[in-house]
Amino acid sequence: MELNEKTYETYLLSYIDNELSHSERLMVERFVKSEPKYTAALKDLQNAILQPETIVFEDKALLYRLEEMNASLDLDFKKSLYRTETATPTTPVISLWNRNVLRYSAIAALFVLTIGTAIMLTSNKDKAIVLSANNSIPEAKKLIGNINDGIVSPTQALNSNQPSQVLAANTKSSVQLVGKSKTEPFQPISIGVEHTIIASSSNTLFDNKNTLDNNTTQVVEAIEAVASIEKVQINKDVDFSPVIQNTYQAESFEEINTSEPDRVIYISSIEIDSDKIRGFTRRINALFKRNKSDKQ
Amino acid sequence: MTDKEYNIAVDLYADGVYRFIVKNIRHQEDARDIVQTAFEKLWVNRTIVDSLKIKSYLFTVAYHQMIDHIRQGAKMITTEDFETVNNHSTYQKDGELKQLLLQAINELNPTQKSLVLLKDYEGYSYQEIGEIMSLSESQVKVYLHRARLQLKHKLVHLDKVSA
């Protein structure tokens, strides 16, 4: 096709579409330079060509076949991508439930510790009394033996210095033990072997026990207990009443008005300040109520 | 085509296919779907696709997907849309040739627009465009020349109006 006035537009269009051969392109370029209107026509057509612009498809990750990429990757490269755990110090995490358990456990442990301390102090006191009685057994035995042999009368024994003091001390201790056995339920395990022997032997050795007053009975039981432990026979006709009257002071008891709000509270032999106890219990109750409301 | 070549094709051609589709239908979400479908078909047919024909295969599949999409009445911004008019007024203010050309391109029919985009953006020959669009080489030449002249007249007319 010849390049002329009628066909030049087709040539120009093929020229801008880069569809001409090298010789045809040179021919068109010469033709365009021959006339300014052809140059303007080529310029207008070139203005109609789109200039490439960059538009990125951002979802390429959806298109990749990762299993194939993974298979094609080098093993060392893949190993370099592995995440390695470093030894970092971890802070212990305690859940709220465990904190409450720990708090309640601490309160319970404090309560148990208090009760345990009180019981331990009480048991040590009883043990000290028993030990005191046991330690004086040989001397009491010696004194009772002298009484039975007629060497020393109970009154002389009382008036003499050293033995009478021993007897008085022993008697007082023993009376306390016996007194406990009469006012409290009989507990062989908690009191000890000595107390059991006292209780069991009190009705067998003395026939005239009923003629004695209450205080005398207690003292006789105590001495009897000491004697029975060492299997010493005591003369039934010996009158212990002077000894008892001089060595034992009768105890007086007062009935406690339990309805009185300000009464003193005793746990074992420990006096407890009731106001402080009430404050303590009030705090514990408030703590429990607060935890309960928090959970709700 | 190997599996590795497929992933390379993603790097090389995904942007071009997406640009071709989104410039035609001017709807990004639908264009993403069409591109994804094209690469899915490439993956399925990777054993029968020649390594040298990967690009044309992708454009062919994407183009026909786009035609189906247009035929199904999907949303496509036409020349009567407000945006076009608004772009025109923008051009009058800015006087930029590029904006005017884009406006003129959007006034072409889908076939002419595809021809121009494949020629100018991708640099395909008439023959390759014919293969992609299922047209003969002469048809591509005629349709594309008509589109060029149409663009030229639009540009000249708008240039005179703006002047």
d(CA A181, CA A224): 15
Indicate if B87 and B67 belong to the same structural domain.
no
Contact B4 A72 (CB under 8 A): yes
Q: What pLDDT digit, counting tens, does each position of B104-154 carry?
A: 888 899 999 999 999 999 999 999 999 999 999 999 999 999 999 999 988
Number of residue pairs across A and B with CB atoms under 8 Å? 82
Residues B63 and B88 in one domain: no
pLDDT in tens, B14-61: 999 999 999 999 889 999 999 999 999 999 998 899 888 999 999 999
From A56, A71, A72, residue closest to B15, measured CB to CB: A56
B105 and B45 co-located in one domain: no
pLDDT of residue A190: 36
CATH of the domain at B11: 1.10.1740
The answer to whether A65 contacts B6, with C-beta atoms less than 8 Å apart, is yes
B11, B67: one domain: yes
**296 residues of chain A, pLDDT tens digit each:** 788 888 898 999 999 999 999 999 999 999 999 988 899 999 989 988 988 888 899 888 888 877 666 666 677 776 776 766 666 666 666 666 677 788 888 999 999 999 999 888 887 655 555 444 455 556 555 655 665 666 655 555 444 444 433 333 343 333 333 334 344 444 433 333 333 333 333 343 344 444 445 555 555 566 666 555 544 444 555 555 555 555 555 566 666 666 666 666 666 666 666 666 777 777 888 888 877 777 76
The model's pLDDT over B56-93, given as tens digits with 9 standing for 90+, comes to: 999 999 999 999 998 887 555 543 443 444 444 444 44
- Tokens found for residue A13: 């269009």
* Same structural domain, B147 and B100: yes
* Cα A275 versus chain centre, distance: 27
- What ipTM was estimated for this complex? 0.80
Q: How many domains does chain B have?
A: 2
Beta strands in A177-243 (DSSP E): none
- In sequence order, the β-bridge partners of residue A265 are A272
Residue B76 lies in a domain: no
Residue B125's nearest CA partner among A271, B133, A284 is B133
Question: What's the gap in Å between the CA of A42 and the closest CA on chain B?
Answer: 10
Indicate whether B151 and B97 sit together in one domain.
Answer: yes
Cβ contacts of A1 within 8 Å, gap of 6 or more: A7, A10, A11
Domain membership flag for residue B77: no
The answer, for B85 touching chain A at a CB cutoff of 8 Å, is: no
Is the domain of B66 the same as that of B100? no
pLDDT for the residue B16? 93
Query: What pairs with residue A270 in β-bridges?
Result: A267
B141 is a domain residue: yes
**Alpha-carbon distance B3 to nearest alpha carbon in chain A (angstroms):** 6
Residues B13 and B65 in one domain: yes
Q: Which domain holds residue B115?
A: 82-162
Quick check: B132 contacting A, CB < 8 Å?
A: no
Grouping H, G, I as helix, E, B as strand and the rest as coil, residue B122 is coil
pLDDT at residue number A258:
60
Rounded Cα gap, residues B19 and B113, in angstroms: 13
> CA of A73: which chain B residue's CA is closest?
B4
pLDDT score at A158: 46
At CB < 8 Å, which residues of chain A contact B? 9-10, 13-14, 16-19, 44-45, 47-57, 59-60, 62-65, 68-69, 71-72
Set of chain A residues whose Cβ sits within 8 Å of the Cβ of B146: none
Residues of chain A positioned with their CB less than 8 A from the CB of B7: 64-65, 68-69
Nearest to residue B26, comparing CAs of B92, B100, B107?
A: B107
How high is the pLDDT of residue B1?
79
Query: B135 to chain A, minimum CA–CA distance in Å?
Result: 17
Instruction: Give me the pLDDT at residue A293, please.
Output: 76
Query: Are residues B52 and B98 both part of a single domain?
Result: no
